[in-house]
Amino acid sequence: MIEDDAFGPELRELKRENRAMSERNTKLAELLKSSRDKLNLLYAQVEALGEPASTYGIFLEDSPRGMEAEVFTSGRRMRVKVAPTVEPTSLAPGTLVRLGDGTVIVEACGYESTGQLAMLVEKIDGNRAVVADQQGTEHLVHLTDPLQEAARAGDTMLIDPKAGYAFERIPKTEVNQLSLEEVPDVTYADIGGLSSQIETIKDSVELPFAYPELYRQYRLAPPKGLLLYGPPGCGKTLIAKAVANSLSQRIGDGGQAHFINVKGPELLNKFVGETERRIRLIFERARELASDGRPVIVFFDEMESIFRTRGSGVSSDMETTVVPQLLTEIDGVEDIANVIVIGATNREELIDPAILRPGRLDIKIRVSRPNREEAADIFARYITADIPLADSPETLIEAAVEELFAPRPFVRLQLVDGTFETLHYHDFVSGAMIANVVDRAKKLAIKDHIAGTNATGVTAAHLREAVRTEQDESEDMPNTANPDEWARISGRQGKRIVAAEVLAGEKPRTASV
């Protein structure tokens, strides 16, 4: 005991040194292990540099022999081995795969993200489709699993024509470039001054969907289409949108009607056959949407720009092929009763008569310029109590209508019988003009509010000034003395105009034919 006490300090010091050396040995061992791991990694990297370069291919299908697969690589179809390290579920048809030494699949790399674009023309069956590239060349390709349900006619696809696969649906489709499929939020209540036209449309278009059994009992077929014609800015497009919205409400099961809004000029294409192909594409999309039983409205705006009378010499000979294509498509919707074609035009006399005959666009509705009462109804849609007003809406509307229809000569027309007719600014009133008048008045009220001269809201003076400014700048009235132009916008096609004298402006302009 005495000896232990005598050597106690030295013993404790030796134990501390022993523990310190043990800790240093542990750290050295860890450093040695880390160095060996890094050295092994470097050796592996050096060996990898000596391996042949990897190639890539498109996985086509599994081989019935197992652990083998069909791939398309280097321009040819091959059967190759699959490395055991590759997860079988990662190999889906159309997948990009990496091929290692011996042309063995060593890695699945997902789907291609770049390549050639083509437009889907038609689905053949569940996993195949016909696509057309930008030159119009058609290819038959397989659809990858994600595309078999999502792909639709008109979609832009990422394809590899040599491998025979479509990999991805590009969101911006050719149909979407020409059309809008969402149901508009416009209702009949948003449209003023067109009650008789709306009633006609309800009777002709909506009744067949509301009472299909009655129509079948009476053996009455729903109309295929209708034409809305009249001066610009009078609500033709609004009516078409409201029809789609109303039909959606009538479905009643939470679904929606489809509205394909096609701008006529955007269909035009200088390449032979391209415009006809786009028309086929639009109706193919309409049939696809209609297959679930919901109404589909195909709305052609500015219809006269593309479907002109054949052989009229008004434009090129393109109508000789484009018009028959439209007629074929309209006639082809006979077996799909819920596709409706609505056309809108400012120049109904230019449209080929074959399009307007019974059985096609057989319902024709004129959308005229509003009179005083109808103009007041339109003003009431914009001058409402929920905006700052200096007076009651009724008082302001009355002041605006009085100013809008005040006598203010614009042009004097000479008819073929030698009589003269003077047209005033109020002869060119439209719903679009009224909307602009109210917007101008609101801006005037805001300027006065900022200047501190008026903080009560829109006044009658604002509306009168807005009317005069709008009339001076109206786009609906051409700054020309051409009799043909005035015949078109005045709606007097039945009366031959031989001369026109513009009275507005500083210097009257006269022209005759």
**Known binding-site residue numbers for ATP:** 233-238
Pick from 419, 381, 421, 420: which is nearest to 400 by CA?
A: 381
Sheet holding 225-229, edge to edge: 258-263, 296-301, 339-345, 225-229, 363-366
Q: Would you give the DSSP letter of residue 83?
A: -
Residue 410 near residue 477, CB atoms below 8 Å: yes
The token duo for 243 is: 């029809």
Annotated binding site: 233-238
Residue 44 main-chain phi, psi, to 5 deg? -65, -40
> Which residue(s) pair with 340 in the sheet?
297
- DSSP-derived letter for residue 346 is S
Bridge partners (DSSP) listed for residue 229:
345, 366
Q: What is the Rg, in whole angstroms, of the alpha carbon atoms belonging to the chain?
A: 37
HSE-CB for 481 with a 13 A CA cutoff: 16
Structure tokens at 222: 């729903």
Any long-range contacts for 21-25 (C-beta under 8 Å, 24+ apart)? none
User: Could you tell me if 427 and 508 are in contact, meaning their C-beta atoms sit under 8 angstroms apart?
Assistant: no
Q: Please give the Cα distance from 183 to 255 (Å, whole number).
A: 11
Give the pair of three-digit tokens for residue 468.
């005069």
**Contact status, residue 164 vs residue 59, Cβ threshold 8 Å:** no
Calpha distance 287→247 (Å, rounded): 17
Separation of alpha carbons 181 and 295, rounded Å: 12
Output the CA–CA distances (angstroms, integers) from residue 443 to 232, 440, 462, 463, in the order listed. 25, 5, 9, 10
d(CA 139, CA 160): 10
Helix (H) or strand (E) holding 38: helix 2-49
d(CA 429, CA 408): 13
Structure tokens that stand for 415 in this block: 């008819």
Instruction: Tell me how crowded residue 170 is: count the other CB atoms within 10 A of its CB.
Output: 13
Report the distance separating Cα 106 and Cα 87, nearest Å: 10
Beta-carbon contacts of residue 452 (< 8 Å; ≥ 6 apart): none
Hey, is 122 helix, strand or coil? strand
User: What CA–CA distance (Å, rounded) separates 384 from 19?
Assistant: 90
In terms of Cα–Cα distance, which of 414, 440, 408 is closest to 504? 408
Q: Determine the 3-state secondary structure of 378 from DSSP.
A: helix
